[in-house]
Amino acid sequence: KPRILDDEEGGVLFLASSISSTSSGYGYASIEKQRLRLPVYKYRTAILYLVETHATTVIVGETGSGKTTQIPQYLKEAGWADGGRVIACTQPRRLAVQAVASRVAEEMGVKLGEEVGYTIRFEDLANSGVTMIKFLTDGVLLREMMDDPLLTKYSVIMVDEAHERSISTDILLGLLKKIQRRRPELRLIISSATIEAKSMSAFFQTSKRRRGLEADELGPRKDPAILSVEGRGFNVQIHYVEEPVADYVRAAVSTVLSIHDQEPPGDSLVFLTGQDDIDAAVQLLTEEAQANGKKNSSGLIVLPLYSGLSRMEQDLVFSPTPRGKRKVVISTNIAETSLTLEGIVYVVDSGFSKQRFYNPISDVENLVVAPISKASARQRAGRAGRIRPGKCYRLYTEEYFINEMPAQGIPEMQRSNLVSCVIQLKALGIDNILGFDWPASPAPEAMIRALEVLYSLGVLDDDAKLTSPVGFQAAEIPLDPMIAKMMLSSSQLGCSEEIITIAAVLSIQSIWVSTKAQKELDEAKLRFAAVEGDHVTFLNVYQGFLRSGKSSQWCHKNFVNYHAMKKVIEIREQLRRIALRIGIVLKSCERDMLVVRKAVTAGFFANACNLEAYSHNGMYKTVRGSQEVYIHPSSVLFRVNPKWVIYQSLVSTDRQYMRNVITIDPSWLTEAAPHFFQHQRPDPIGR
């Protein structure tokens, strides 16, 4: 009979260093055995045959069946990487790219970055001429098309996690369909965890007339093959709550504790939405453990899982659980299908995830904690049945699941701002964007908004073609076009060194440590706070970090995230290289923050907001759409409430909050984008 062994020390082992890392955990033979046991192994010959004979193969298989880690290896073993060719496998998420690449390198017994490599934005661990299997984000593959439109170095491109329908995946599918016509030798594999095979296959089906014409040609069949890998998931018992829960973080924590108290050994996986609520849950579990002493939560190893974790933290999540311990992984929806964790028997599903939503009427895009779909809920539950029958605790009622939860999610393409998407397609020479062959058509209003913003940024001309040089330069910068424009303007304004630092900071999640000690963090921030706002505050932190000799103690003392700062330095170096290549003049403005603010305005004028006259609670209205917004408590301008500000992004909880805020002079807006403010001229007196 299974029993829970007590942890001698008591309390929660958080980031326990006693867990051995994956690489030392298994020997080579054992990995070979694991490979043979995976469900896809039985389909190895079939997969290779279909890929050989069909231009496109759609493969559907349960999460954990071995699609991502095995298929690229089978292809390599069959010779698809011979003669300097490369097998590509795309993932929507950066963390998945890293984790999967390192697993495959380990299985093949090679050093990551050689035969097996990966590329994500600002991090290239692939070696041209050596790398045979390359994992990359779908976004990076799109970028590669700017230098090599037909992606000639790849023999097979596996578009993985296609069911996620990320915006880059959808653009990629549309473009790959075009490339196929020019490169009959290219093979595509579209793989996913859920049954969307029919519509994917229909998308790649060439029309009857074309097929007739090509009937006599040699080469692969143009109609896609579909292969379904039989999984071997165990039964998962579903539990619902009786009444809706008020606070899903607390509900998740108490569910974890009662599982630990009452259920036999087996790891737990909790689905929350993002770094904030995950850190809160980790903290609560730790506190709970301390309060209860040995009784309740000893033997728990609590680990967070979200993008932006350091390498060591990632490794811990995948490490085997030591005997007598129970691992609890608290994750975003990255563990839904992208990553497989061994040993999970219990799943706790909050019913929510962070999703992007865009309103083309108000031109406001934000990240919202929103209900997941039934399809996602089933995937989440499935994670409990990998090694033996498991249990899934849904923190919502059965009635809600049946009657209110949407059946499918909406493709990201249909709920995003399309500015980045349009500039990329334009840069690839796709002129008729509305007529493009999309797997899911974007809303025409969103498309028109994107064209309008790009026109105002000076990236597109009257004929909706990229302008020279600004449009072409902006397309070269692998960041949001608004950030790209900010960088380009900084060249003329003489503050590119500062703006590049700001761009680097804006591309990572946060430079502050996440801590419960909010008061201490706020005090630390005050040491760097600038009256101009967050962007200038970032410059102060960066300067301080450099002056400290990039010291980790300095970071610790100031509540600055050391890993984040090292990342900023790395990204900054890459951005400087790109800047030099496209002709941005590298220059520092020393202490002249006026030009820095003007450069920010040149890129982000569309996010300008005005404090409501007579507002006592800090309510702003966006200049463009008259949306109610507030300064986020994490901003140094929180409670300062200057009259005119520009934000970088919005997050939505109880209200719409502006993140990363800087003060501006309203006269700069019409200067930066006369066309954009033609109809809603900001009040020049500034009320």
Return residues touching ligand ADP (CB under 6 A). Answer: 22, 38, 61, 63-70, 99, 103, 318, 340, 342
* Nearest-approach distance from CB 231 to ligand ADP, in angstroms: 9
The nearer residue to Mg ion, 158 or 664, going by C-beta atoms, is: 158
Residue 99 binding partner per list Mg ion, ligand ADP, none, with a CB distance cut-off of 5 to 8 Å that depends on partner kind? ligand ADP
- Residue 381 one-letter amino acid: A
Measured over the CA atoms of residue 312, residue 316, residue 322 and residue 327, the dihedral's sign is positive
Q: Could you say which of Mg ion, ligand ADP, none residue 92 binds, taking C-beta under 5 to 8 angstroms by partner kind?
A: none
| Residue 62 C-beta: closest distance to Mg ion, Å | 10
Give the CA distances from residue 379 to residues 100, 236, 238, in Å, rounded to whole numbers and listed in that order. 19, 11, 12
Q: Which is nearer to Mg ion, 337 or 507 (CB)?
A: 337
Q: Which does 535 bind (CB under 5 to 8 A by kind): Mg ion, ligand ADP, none?
A: none
**Which partner in ligand ADP, Mg ion, none is near 66 (CB below 5 to 8 A by kind)?**
ligand ADP
CB of 114 to Mg ion, least distance (A): 22
610 binds, among ligand ADP, Mg ion, none (CB under 5 to 8 A by kind): none
- DSSP E strands: which ranges in 5-55? 13-14
Please confirm whether the linkage preceding 674 is cis (ω < 30° from 0): no
In the numeric block, which tokens belong to residue 431?
A: 């002129």
Kindly state the smallest distance separating residue 556's Cβ from ligand ADP, in Å. Answer: 30
Taking the complex as a whole, the smallest distance from the CB of residue 316 to ligand ADP amounts, in Å, to 11
> Which residues, in sequence order, are bridge partners of residue 620?
611, 629
CA 609 to chain centre: 27
Question: Considering beta carbons, is residue 65 or 507 the nearer one to ligand ADP?
Answer: 65
**Closest CB to ligand ADP among residues 107, 115:** 107
Burial class, 297, CB count within 10 angstroms (exposed 0-12 / middle 13-18 / buried 19+): buried
Helical axes 496-506 vs 562-581, angle rounded to 10°: 130
Give whichever of 159 and 493 is closer to Mg ion, judged by the CB atom: 159
d(CA 608, CA 684): 13
Give whichever of 40 and 664 is closer to ligand ADP, judged by the CB atom: 40
379 versus 491: smaller Cβ distance to ligand ADP: 379
Residue 212 CB coordination number (10 Å):
9
Element containing residue 478 per DSSP (H, E): none
Per partner kind, with CB cut-offs from 5 to 8 A, the member of ligand ADP, Mg ion, none near residue 656 is none
Nearer of residues 39 and 220 to ligand ADP, judged by Cβ: 39
Name the minimum Å distance from CB 193 to ligand ADP. 7
Cα 458 from chain centroid? 28
Nearer Cβ to ligand ADP, position 174 or 266?
266
Binding partner at 671 among Mg ion, ligand ADP, none, C-beta below 5 to 8 Å by kind: none
Q: Among all chains, which residue has been given the structure tokens 């007598």?
A: 324
Q: Residue 626 gets which letter from DSSP?
A: -
The answer to the question of residue 166 lying near Mg ion (CB under 5 A) is: no
Site for Mg ion in 61-80 (CB under 5 A): 68
- For the bound state, the minimum distance from the C-beta of residue 315 to ligand ADP, rounded and expressed in Å, comes to 9
Q: How many residues bind Mg ion (CB under 5 A)?
A: 1
Q: Which does 61 bind (CB under 5 to 8 A by kind): ligand ADP, Mg ion, none?
A: ligand ADP
Among ligand ADP, Mg ion, none, the one that 22 touches (CB under a kind-dependent 5 to 8 A) is ligand ADP
Nearest distance from C-beta of residue 274 to ligand ADP, angstroms: 22
Residue 363: closest CA among 458, 433, 450: 450
- Whole-number minimum distance, CB 383 to ligand ADP, in Å? 10
Written in H, E and C, the secondary structure of 182-223 is: HCCCCEEEEEECCCCHHHHHHHHCCCHHHHHHHCCCCCCECC
Q: Which long-range contacts (CB under 8 A, 24 or more apart) does 127-134 make?
A: 128/153, 129/84, 131/86, 132/76, 132/81, 132/86, 132/87, 133/72, 133/73, 133/75, 133/76, 133/81, 133/86, 133/87, 133/89, 133/104, 134/86, 134/87, 134/88, 134/89
> Which residues contact Mg ion (rule: CB under 5 A)?
68
